[in-house]
A = this chain, B = another copy of it.
């Protein structure tokens, strides 16, 4: 994807940051290198002291942008879902047949992420790996309901809703458009993890891709009712 739509800023829930990291070079460095570090060492081992060292800045300066490492994780995952919603919209918009739209949507949601040069300070491929490995930690907490009220998970829920609307448009009689949408989106992440770490329970290889699997699953579910 090249700069068809440059300068589009991905919107992230404002409660996740104290100072907008997109508004300064230090902020952008925090984003760039937190992605690299979390990918390298995992979210548990990652902390603001290590991040400070990596960007030759100070722990205390990072706390001016994010009040906790949890909120930084929520920021990063929200950014990812916002970005993915964008991909979904622009790649399906011009298609005229609803079947093509649906198939394209499944492709966007289940394919391996490619880098998008529009956002130079964010490595989308690494961010996708972080989302695979750490996304669920952003909501599997005792504070989910509070965080949810603050709108932290809106970007994720918007992706689910958009996809479910395509499902309903393709098959208005289907009873579970939202559940099917969130199953595909969530399971696509899980299946990537399984493929890398629990190989004995995966069927994916060069010929058999998640996109193919989920496309069959969705189309069969919608084509033949119950």
Contact = CB atoms under 8 A, between A and B. Distances in A.
Interface of A: 41-42, 44-45, 133-134, 136-137, 139-142, 144-145, 148, 153, 157, 160-161, 164, 175-183, 186-187, 190-191, 193-194, 197-198, 200-204, 208, 210, 213, 216-217, 220-221, 223-224, 226
Contact of A179 (B140, B191, B221): B191
A197 B142 CA distance: 11
A136 B137 CA distance: 8
20 contacts: A42-B141, A44-B141, A44-B142, A137-B137, A148-B197, A153-B198, A157-B198, A157-B200, A175-B208, A176-B203, A176-B208, A179-B202, A179-B203, A179-B213, A182-B202, A183-B217, A186-B187, A187-B187, A217-B221, A223-B224
Nearest to A140: B133
This chain: how many copies in the complex? 2
Given A44-B142, A183-B190, A187-B186, A203 B177 contact: yes
